[in-house]
A = this chain, B = another copy of it.
């Protein structure tokens, strides 16, 4: 273990102050000369045929610059859902037309002048109903693929099941026969929104050459570039996407509901166009997490060893087909050695808001089922739930349900850490109180990232990255740079470039940005160090291998007075060196996994009069590989737990006839500080194989166990097993009353 000066330290976030003081610039803060404003006409119905669409009155309104309908879409790719409804609307809130006008009021007025006749169809709003043979078919083109083992078959009958997979191994029936106990339960989770701070917005300018410049919230500027270029049918390098600050994203800003249409408006009008969603639009017009239904049958011996699992996952993906629950089944079922497994997966379309990714997509839902079942098994076998898990937990050499063999992982270490924590903690006393534990697993992604390091004339160092900073990675990457040069953090600038100025970085998603970028940045720093060493050696008149470099200073070995500083070399490089400015590049790619595990503990109190669940304390343990900046990691863990508690206890997309009934933050309640306890964090550092620091991802694992942790704690407090989210006072009270 090397001794670090900057890594592993609690550096404050570089963006904290500008965000806390309201000075950071978000998309809606940007303006351009001659800018006009775009607004969206949305369907009031969840399912309807468009029989007439007349934009002539809107187009004739003074101040209206353009009206665009599906007829104007340039987009050719058949794989992405249309951004504007054509012939038929399939969810309430679906965009039907967009308008650009010289001010937002005229744009709004123009929306009212667009005449749409709808022939209302019966909406499909329940996934189980939607799967039935006699269900109303939303997309007659969908002929379900069945993927069974290695077989793929395309069906012939129209269906609302957009994706169906069956897989497994071993002999499940035999496994259940060998079990001393078999539990079968069905778990249900609700649609929830990512709940970021600012609503989706975009500003697009198209110059006379056709180059498109976009300011928008996104988890990856390069992806926005690709999506918009595809939509506009132009090459990606004709699109430039600018970085903006973001008030959270959590998977919700991978999709781009506005930018392509806004770009089309800008291209049509020759004017910069800004579009900003209202909060209601953001709820109904973006991509929340799907509602899910998981039936899980689990068998175990009385010694507490799992013998078989069969699972059926049904994902209500909303109005557009998505392949979404397969990954959920893998990350949900790979924590324990399961000798026999059978999985059936169904992604189902309904006439509800189309869904997308939300922090560890599918994993929290799967863990709600799996970790609830494990808890029930432990109870039935009267085993300590952590002991039960330790007995079955995977470790290096075991394989996940998709066959991937685990490299070095820290699941057992994390379970152990939580066990130690529980042993020494002060237990909650009193009636109606209980504790629950649950675990989470996330594979983590890798992918292509690059970094560019420039040495400034005063010896300060600037790092240019193309990846988005969602979680504070500008700060942790600054620490990586500081460590390489031994110079203080105030001499490091980390800047998110745009798609033209920055080197490529993949999507900030999948808990991978810092893990990949720390490697790329390290490599770029090595290039810079090589150049510095060369220059130092020529300046000091010695060979490179006679030099040491520490704390921003080169020194000739054995001659402590013969030194030259990074600062002096930097000055020389721009003032008189033949070689010129010192810069370095580093890239990383590939797909080496660095799996992550988390173990959570909650202590709750249930008010039996009102059904209200109060979370008394919460502790999240997680293997982070190596904590470059513990404060940032803890912040992510605390944020994720907060979100998970919201999902467990409060949040819900309430639909009636496919129309969301609560598209605002009064009726869709997210937890605030008063709803949450202080969230303790325990960092476990089992180095991954990711060079040079052994970091793992962080962002997603702390969301995964929360739903089950709270459910398990409620069981502990009340003896009641809740299998449906959210566990609001009403549902808890109803369960109490029904018992």
Question: Which residues in A have some Cβ–Cβ distance to B below 8 Å?
Answer: 14, 17-18, 20-21, 23-25, 29, 31-33, 207-209, 222, 226, 235-237, 240, 448-450, 452, 454, 456-458, 460, 462, 464, 490-491, 493, 495, 497-498, 500-504, 506, 520, 527, 573-585, 587-591
Contact = CB atoms under 8 A, between A and B. Distances in A.
A11 to B, nearest CB: 13
B457 A580 contact: no
A713 to B, nearest CB: 41
Given A235-B460, A448-B577, A495-B501, A209 B583 contact: no
Contacts of A527: 585
A235 B458 contact: yes
Contacts of A588: 579-580
Given A33-B29, A207-B18, A209-B17, A589 B579 contact: yes
B589 A578 contact: yes
Contact of A577 (B498, B575, B589): B589
A101 to B, nearest CB: 20
Given A236-B456, A457-B504, A503-B583, 15 more contacts: A25-B33, A235-B460, A235-B490, A237-B456, A237-B491, A449-B580, A449-B581, A450-B454, A452-B503, A452-B583, A493-B500, A501-B502, A573-B589, A578-B590, A582-B587
Main secondary structure of the interface of A (DSSP, over half): loop
A343 B537 CA distance: 42
A581 to B, nearest CB: 4
28 contacts: A18-B209, A20-B208, A23-B207, A23-B208, A25-B32, A29-B32, A31-B31, A236-B456, A236-B460, A237-B460, A448-B573, A448-B577, A454-B502, A454-B503, A457-B504, A493-B500, A498-B501, A501-B501, A503-B583, A504-B581, A520-B580, A576-B591, A577-B590, A580-B590, A581-B587, A583-B585, A583-B587, A585-B585
A457 B32 CA distance: 29
Given A448-B573, A581-B503, A237 B458 contact: yes
Contacts of A449: 580-581
A456 B18 contact: no
A347 to B, nearest CB: 24
Contact of A450 (B208, B462, B503, B580): B580
Contacts of A240: 495
Contact of A584 (B25, B498, B585): B585
Nearest to A592: B578
